[in-house]
Amino acid sequence: MMYPLEIRELQRRMGYTFHDESLLRTALTHSSFANEHFGGREGCNERLEFLGDSVLSLTVCNYLYHAYTDLPEGRLTVLRKNLVCQRALADYATQIGLGEFLLLGKGEAKDGREKPKLLEDAFEALLGALYLDAQNLDTVALFLLPFVRKEIAKMERELQPLEDYKTLLQQYVQQTPGEELHYETVSEVGPDNAKTFTVRVLINSNCFGMGQGSSKKEAEQNAAREALKLYLPK
């Protein structure tokens, strides 16, 4: 089977040599290729993607739990979401040129090597294959965590102790493409030197929280805090 690039080069970029190279080959096989050449989805990377999703989550959660002992659950949840979202995973895949190695059907091959969703799925499948071949999460962590640490370096504000609820909410909402977030002043009550502002936060025209404060900024922060209660787990 001919690959766009020799898969030994991918192993070199990963810093890992597979004992069972068929696992890697399966991780690189998109369903469109399997449908065209194998007569069905059997042999594609979807099952490895399923496994890799859990491997990814556990590896990242374990790292964050031990590396950021002062962060509360809510902050850890937002941070994890940013590290395993489609944008981040597609970026990890791009850093090793994963798209260049994929087996794609004729339609996908035209522009699929740069599609974020396709790259996300392939990277998860790669993690699943790596876990099965190595039979331990430590090897997965050696490969994955350098990407995670680079991504965290871009998110230094998230690690600050100040409770910037607007920033946290914005980061959370951005994980869903097409979501629009904005704040709307509902009322201003009282004299000019002692006003109370009421603000609501809207996501796609739906109200997710209300907040009050002596300034619009304070009211917006309080509204964002209320909205986060709906996003973050109890």
- Provide the annotated active-site residues: 53, 124
CB contact set of 68 (below 8 Å; sequence gap of 6+): 75, 76, 79, 159
Helix and strand totals (H; E) in the chain? 11, 3
Contact between 204 and 179 (Cβ < 8 Å): yes
Contact between 116 and 92 (Cβ < 8 Å): no
37-50 as b/e: b if 16+ CB within 10 A: eeeeeebbbbebbe
Report the distance separating Cα 196 and Cα 199, nearest Å.
10
Report the distance separating Cα 34 and Cα 27, nearest Å.
12
Q: Cβ–Cβ contacts within 10 Å for residue 86, how many?
A: 16
